Amino acid sequence: MAKYNCITLKVKNGELEGFDKLRPPVQKILRNGNVIYIYKGTNSKKIYIGQTKQFTVRNKQHYNGKEEKFNTAEFDQVFILISVYFNGSALDDVESQLITYFIADNPNSKKQLVHYDDDDIINRTNGNSVNEYRGREKIALEVVLPFWEKELYPNEWVSTATLEELRNRALVKYSPIKEITIQQMKILQEIVSNPDKCFVINGDAGTGKTVLLTHLVAKLLKEKPNQQIAVVLQPNWIKTAKDIFRVYGMNNSNLQLATSTQLINADKNYDVVIVDESHKLSRKFPKQMASFNKVYKGRFVEDENHLEALKKLGRQIVLMYDVLQAIRPANMTRVQFNEATKDFEKRYLTTQFRIQAPAGKNYTSEDFVNGIKYLLYKDTGLLEQTNFNPEFDRAVFQDSDADAYFGYFEIEPLKNLIDWVEEDRNFNPEHINRVLGGLVEPWKQADGKDLSITHWHEGNIKRRWNSTQENWIYSEDADAEEQIGSVFAVQGIDLNKVGVLVGNDLQVDAKGRLYGNSRNFHNINGKFSSDDESPENSQEFTLFVLNIYYILMTRGIDGIRLGFWKNDAFKKYMKEILEIKSVLWS
């Protein structure tokens, strides 16, 4: 039995044609019931999505001559969705989902074709947590999905056949429209309400820092349109961010998207500077791209790092931060970061969004993240600086099911990881899967231009490193899906299934502790000079290596498999620490 019904009416001069011929219960719910409605203009191609408890009244309000959208859009049809599940919370959620999906369905249009009441969506200060109301999963499976795939698509209201295909797009994952958690909402409100306070938003990988960023930008642009806003991004995410802000109608001359180097060199003042991946901000350090060190001039000449310079550019600074994601000596040290932010408000995101434990399992995504953190950092002293829960369920690492979230391969790591991600793609063509690797095979930046240069070799298999770091996931290279991804190409990126080659740059010492071996690490700017190998720097290098594998191991939404690249020692260590008693995967 369907859990929803659809009503389609023609609209002419604001009048609902055929309304009087509808059955009495249908008329009743349109006059006094919870509904989602979608107007469409056959000629204009425009869409308007909304929700209401009195559709007939709302329709008259839209056509009272005061709403510019309805004066010019030439809407001639309306699709009305009703469901037994609809209440206030569900209406908010379904409305925001459909707006996001419709926008992602037609991202390349030069005109804004999808309209909605952005006051209700972006400024929904009493918005509902994505986990707050019961039955949300049922609504997604029994209402939103069949409504899209069985009603909207066959009737040519949308061009994408499946929602799964849309869900993998960055336009959906980082949408500034979708519902956010109460925790995120409170942080968002606090930042906007306190323009004279600066904030550090701490969060593990996958806890929604970037989603919070897009919502923050949307809210600022809406509520404070005259403010100058700068968003500092990593190069591999700038194009995606520009697409997101463009498609959601957030193009604005007051909004600047740039790297930290670009922003400091421009030397312009802003009301708000928001920094994504602030753990990667640079400090004065000889071994890095020369451009990073050239910013220290003029009023920045005495600064020791990019954050000190950025603080001079913004009245309010908001930093998205994860202590476990600094990956090179040129990144700001933890001491420098703590000193630069000693007067900042500190807030913490704790809900895991990226990783999805398979249905029917007792373990959770939080169990996996806590287990990986314990595996890598238990002897470093860093766990206490994160949202670590030592009571994680090790069952996530001991599950022998073929579709378990976690697994590993004992032999032929490259072949088996490739076969695993490619098999999944056969069943789920919309999935974005990749094999990633630690920095254990030599490479040069120029190699990316030459398809004949390969870096990873096993038997007859030859694969090369990612050809580019910027927008690699959507690279147009013929072999893009076959390339082995480095941390520089995937930091901050969501993937569906991930194979990770753990190399011999991560080793185990005589006391059973992990350490980084610089001789097996092939990124010249990722390690200290040979004449600067103090015990402190050796420990810092170990943390960089651990952070790289932490990032790689937390990219996968639907699953991860490890392969051990010339590194049986780590495999043995992993089995002992996570109490894996037997060989579960071949």
> In this predicted model, what pLDDT tens digit does every residue of 164-217 receive, in sequence order?
888 878 888 888 887 788 888 899 999 999 999 999 999 888 888 998 999 999
Same domain, 162 and 192: no
Asked whether residue 217 falls in the same domain as residue 133, the answer is no
pLDDT band at 465 (very low <50, low <70, confident <90, very high): very high
Answer whether residue 126 shows pLDDT above 50. no
Residue 197's domain comprises 182-349
In the predicted structure, residue 42 carries a pLDDT above the cut 70: yes
Query: Once rounded to an integer, what is the mean pLDDT over residues 373-383?
Result: 94
Query: CATH number, domain at 196?
Result: 3.40.50.300
% of the chain residues with pLDDT over 70 = 95
342 and 410 both lie in a single domain: no
Cβ pair 152, 146 in contact under 8 A: no
**Looking at residue 122, what is its pLDDT?**
59
Q: Within a domain: residue 119?
A: yes
Indicate if the pLDDT at residue 376 is higher than 70. Answer: yes
| Per-residue model confidence (pLDDT) at position 121 | 61
Q: Are residues 322 and 470 in the same domain?
A: no
Model confidence at 368: pLDDT above 50: yes
Per DSSP, 501 falls in state E
The answer to whether residue 145 is domain-embedded is: yes
With a CB cutoff of 8 Å and minimum separation 6, the contacts of 500 are 417, 435, 436, 437, 438, 549, 552, 553, 560, 561, 562, 563
Residue 117 vs residue 52, higher pLDDT: 52
Same domain for 218 and 195: yes
Q: How confident is the model at residue 123 (pLDDT cuts 50, 70, 90)?
A: low
* Confidence (pTM): 0.81
Q: What is the pLDDT of residue 483?
A: 95
The per-residue pLDDT for range 566-579, each reduced to its tens digit, is 999 999 999 999 99
Residue 129's pLDDT is: 47
Residues 410 and 483 in one domain: yes
Average pLDDT over residues 418-443: 93
Same-domain pairing of 156 and 193: no
Confidence bin at 263 (pLDDT 50/70/90): very high
pLDDT digits (tens, 9 = 90+) for 44-91: 889 999 999 999 999 999 998 888 888 888 899 999 999 998 886 788
Residue from 291, 300, 225, 211 nearest 258 by CA: 291
- Same structural domain for residues 343 and 404? no
Do 160 and 196 lie in a common domain?
Answer: no
| Cα first-last separation, the chain | 43
pLDDT (average), residues 286-311:
92
Distance CA 94, CA 78 (A): 17
Question: CB-based contacts of 274: which residues, under 8 Å, 6+ apart?
Answer: 213, 216, 217, 229, 230, 231, 232, 318, 320
DSSP letter for each residue of 64-85: SS--HHHHHS---EEEEEEETT
Asked, for residue 355, whether it belongs to a domain, the answer is no
Q: Are 296 and 425 in a shared domain?
A: no
Question: Are residues 311 and 395 both part of a single domain?
Answer: no
> What pLDDT score does 125 carry?
39
pLDDT of residue 132: 53
For the chain, the domain total comes to 3
Nearest to 219 by CA among 183, 195, 243, 199: 195
% of the chain exceeding 90 in pLDDT = 57
Q: What is the mean pLDDT of residues 411-430?
A: 93
| All residues at 6 or more sequence positions from 514 whose CB lies less than 8 Å from its CB, including other chains | 376, 379, 506, 507, 508, 542, 546, 570, 573
In a domain, 582, yes or no: no
* Mean pLDDT computed over 256-277: 96
Q: Are residues 79 and 16 in the same domain?
A: yes
Structure tokens at 557: 């939404």
DSSP 381: S
Nearest to 25 by CA among 33, 15, 17: 33
The domain boundary residue, chosen from 319, 349, 379: 349
Q: Which of 167, 191, 222 is the last residue of a domain?
A: 167
Kindly state the average pLDDT of the residues 149-171. Answer: 89
Q: Check if the beta carbon of residue 247 is closer than 8 Å to that of residue 107.
A: yes
d(CA 75, CA 10): 9
Q: Cα torsion for 289, 295, 297, 298, to the nearest 10°?
A: 170
Q: Is residue 583 part of a domain?
A: no
Q: Is the pLDDT of residue 354 over 80?
A: no
> Does residue 177 lie in a domain region?
no
Mean pLDDT of the chain: 89
Identify whether 356 is part of a domain: no
530 band by pLDDT with thresholds 50, 70 and 90: low
Indicate the pairing of strand 270-275 with strand 255-258. unpaired
* Boundary-marking domain end, from 316, 349, 382: 349
- CA–CA distance, 233 with 329 (Å, rounded to integer): 19
pLDDT digits (tens, 9 = 90+) for 223-259: 898 999 999 998 878 888 888 888 887 778 899 999 9
Lowest mean pLDDT among 24-33, 121-130, 528-537: 121-130
* pLDDT classification of 127: cutoffs 50, 70, 90: very low
Residue 354 domain-assigned? Answer: no
Residue 182's φ and ψ, nearest 5 degrees, are -60, -40
